[in-house]
Amino acid sequence: MSEPAEMNLVVVKNFPNRALAEAAYQFLKQEGIESVIQSSDTVGAGNYQGIDLYVQERNREKARQLLERLYDGI
């Protein structure tokens, strides 16, 4: 049995460090959007993949727009 669409988590942004991801997490929370932070594993010869921020699929576009205003280019 599959989960309802509103429970599906999707990556909304990848950050270079935990501090930026935590700030984005707090910002989205203030905007009423719950999110989850997860570190990517090191891949291969020490290639760091950053920190992923996930939101519910139904909140993807709103979260993406909000984060784009704050973190354009990061």
What are 18-31's pLDDT values in tens digits? 999 999 999 999 99
Using 50, 70 and 90 to split pLDDT, how confident is the model at 3? very low
Mean pLDDT of the chain: 85
Q: Which CATH number fits domain 5-71: 1.10.10, 3.40.50, 3.30.70, 3.30.420?
A: 3.30.70
Can you give the residue ranges of every domain in the chain?
5-71
H/E stretch holding 15 reads strand 9-15
Using 50, 70 and 90 to split pLDDT, how confident is the model at 2? very low
What are 24-50's pLDDT values in tens digits? 999 999 999 999 999 865 555 566 688
Q: What is the pLDDT of residue 45?
A: 57
